[in-house]
Chain A
Amino acid sequence: MLEIKNLCVSLEEEDKQILKGVNLTVEAGKVHAIMGPNGSGKSTLSYVLSGRDGYEVTDGSASLLGEDILDKEPEERAAAGLFLAFQYPVEIPGVGNMTFLRTAVNAQRKARGEEEMSATDFLKEVRSKAKDLKIDADMLKRPVNVGFSGGEKKRNEILQMAMLEPKMCILDETDSGLDVDAMKLVAEGVNALRSQNRGFLVITHYQRLLDHIKPDVVHIMADGRIVKTGGPELALEVENNGYADILAEVA
């Protein structure tokens, strides 16, 4: 599904290398988690994959379903099936949430040469999916993320994911700023989307999200590289002993 080979990335503005050769393959139907201390390059990886400005790829490649994505515009990557759930979802005053969702769904369909979704079908689907995430009609009407609580913003990310039905989902610290109940709700939303044809990359600091979204593979990232890969037990090890032991071990 997602194949990252020796990915090296620097900041455009300053001569600073953030990713120093990341190798990672996420298979369809699997959930991979990336954990790691602050500044290890986890969020950078998610931004580079989704096409945000400000980063320069100096070496390596990343492909989605065998197709190179790094030369593509962000909207092309999205249409190809990539989705990033933002750590800090952006507020967009003046654009209704519903308008936003519909524009996005139809833009992707158009880019893939599919027919646009009718207004009725769209409404039906969005209502049913919003209900599962406890997103009420008011939240759908309001401008995108404006005045939303931390939990509401993250649920809104998952709603977008559910509507867009991407092939590869990257969740960037989706648990940050969430209380236990909100985290459960978000995790349920993600779990409902798990399928044989979809891959997940869950970026998180803490084990607790992984109690709810059970990963198949856990990677530890440090200083711009994946330094250790293992099963779910690796996340527990981090939870119990912190990163210091693992980092000392691989150093």
Chain B
Amino acid sequence: MSLAQTKETDVSKRLAEMKVSQSGWSAPARKEAYDRLMKMGMPQRRDEYWKYTRPDTLTSGEAIPAAVQKDSEGPIFDELDSHKLVFVDGVYSETLSDGLSLTGAVLELLSTTEEVDIHWAKSLYGSLEKNGQTPVARPLAAFNSAFAEEGILLHVKETLSKPISLHYIHGSETSDVILHHVIKVDAGARATILESGAVAARCNTVIEAEIEQGGQLNHIRAQGRDHERRAVTHVFAQLEEHSQFKSFTLTMNGVLTRNETVIDMRGDDSIAHVAGASVGDGDFHHDDTVFITHDALRGESRQVFKKVLRNGATGVFQGKILVKPGAQKTDGYQISQSLLLDDDSQFLAKPELEIYADDVACSHGSTSGAIDEEALFYLRSRGVAADEATNLLTLAFLSEALSEVENEDIAELINARLEGWLKRRR
């Protein structure tokens, strides 16, 4: 038996051993997702969409153990006034959380509503993921819909007074976690969701977010610092008229991260911004895969991704803007850039535009480069030491992505973490 076959069998064995829940409101959606997955098959290395990132450790029968690291800085968003929900290895912790009662929204857990037959999330669960399977298959998201163990079901009815902060604690070295969140933002309502922490040795998370007319959802994520953790995440957002979705992800460390964002701009005048800042050294592979579909008038989308790579780290960007026929006056912007701090690191980028409307403005750019020597000398000639000057220029490089974070307090917290990361690596 060849190695490839061994791995295939390993994956099949994993699937055969897992059971799709047969009861409750989500059962039909789970069954459908499972069937979708069987049809697509798990991602393989030969798949075009996985050309730059090896999926095997994400699909394998068991998660590769990952050491739990002590986080000397503490949870990043703890200083903010937020409604905190804590998950330890994917299990909701009642004692560490602020509870499920919230003004202006219905907040429930996937695990505790399982037995109910009728639920508002029934029409959403798995359906945005399903829509996101064309034109490109995302089997790990279907896998998630079929087998998710926990997640929040959040129905935002009014503008929330403070962010909801999901904090994920990585507790066990062998934890393998599947989380699936469903969020519905009613017309005109606004909410901010924060995510932080290393989650597990391996995690697969999905967020499905439906944003009704004029609604706004902000999503800020700080993926935990554990060096050995692996993560595959999907965010599916569906935007109705005049709605807005803004998502920012900070990634520091982690041996493997694949973040997919799939946005369906189906309502006129909607706005979608997706941004990311990632920093990694050594055994660090970070993949941002974004697919934005403009399917309505006057949509505005922005993708801003910046990566700082050193000591052999790898960064991947696959970003696509698809402008469907009739999606006139689309304004699309996409930039992906890497700062390579040495010769061993690499950045692999695949920016794509596919446009079927004639009155649109779309721009995209992708660059890789080193620290600007002129700027470095300028700073040093003013007395700033070489290390500090390099860090200053590195933060400057990341600033375009960071400026996508509108809340200044949050932006400052993220900047402080980046500063800390750079200082630890002097």
Binds A, one of B76-84, B124-132, B253-261, B372-380: B372-380
Q: Which of B373, B378, B398, B400 contacts A92 (CB 8 A)?
A: B378
Interface size class of B (residues with CB under 8 A): 20 to 34
Binds B, one of A26-34, A102-110, A115-123: A102-110
| CB of A72 to closest CB in B, whole Å | 11
Q: Which of B374, B388, B395, B398 contacts A90 (CB 8 A)?
A: B374
Asked if residues B377 and A75 are in contact (CB atoms below 8 Å), the reply is: no
The B interface is mostly helix, strand or loop, or mixed, namely: helix
Asked if residues A104 and B383 are in contact (CB atoms below 8 Å), the reply is: yes
Asked if residues A104 and B382 are in contact (CB atoms below 8 Å), the reply is: yes
Asked if residues B380 and A89 are in contact (CB atoms below 8 Å), the reply is: no
Interface 0/1 of B371-404, CB less than 8 Å to A: 0111101111111111011001101111110000
Shortest Cβ distance from A82 into B: residue: B381
Asked if residues A73 and B386 are in contact (CB atoms below 8 Å), the reply is: yes
Counting residue pairs across A and B whose Cβ atoms lie within 8 Å, the total is: 81
| Interface size, chain A (Cβ < 8 Å) | 31
Asked if residues A103 and B384 are in contact (CB atoms below 8 Å), the reply is: yes
With a cutoff of 8 Å between Cβ atoms, the chain A residues found around residue B383 in the complex are 75, 78-79, 104-105, 107-108, 111, 164
Q: Does A50 contact B (CB under 8 A)?
A: yes
Within 8 A of A (CB), among B177-234: none
Q: Does A224 contact B (CB under 8 A)?
A: no
Shortest Cβ distance from A112 into B: residue: B383
With a cutoff of 8 Å between Cβ atoms, the chain B residues found around residue A37 in the complex are none
Asked if residues B400 and A78 are in contact (CB atoms below 8 Å), the reply is: no
| Most A CB within 10 A of own CB, among B381, B382, B384, B388 | B382
| CB of A227 to closest CB in B, whole Å | 28
Asked if residues B381 and A74 are in contact (CB atoms below 8 Å), the reply is: yes
Asked if residues A104 and B384 are in contact (CB atoms below 8 Å), the reply is: yes
Asked if residues A92 and B382 are in contact (CB atoms below 8 Å), the reply is: no
CA distance A89 to B395 in the complex (A): 20
Q: Which of A78, A83, A94, A108 contacts B397 (CB 8 A)?
A: A94
Q: Which of B377, B389, B400 contacts A53 (CB 8 A)?
A: B377
Asked if residues B378 and A164 are in contact (CB atoms below 8 Å), the reply is: no
With a cutoff of 8 Å between Cβ atoms, the chain B residues found around residue A93 in the complex are 396, 399
Chain A residues within CB distance 8 Å of chain B: 50-53, 73-75, 77-79, 83-84, 86, 89-95, 99-100, 103-105, 107-108, 111, 143, 160, 164
15 contacts between A and B (CB under 8 A): A75-B381, A75-B385, A75-B386, A86-B381, A90-B377, A92-B372, A92-B396, A93-B399, A94-B400, A95-B392, A104-B379, A104-B384, A107-B382, A107-B384, A111-B383
Q: A95-B393, A111-B385 provided; 7 other pairs, C-beta below 8 A?
A: A53-B373, A75-B386, A90-B375, A100-B379, A104-B379, A107-B382, A108-B382
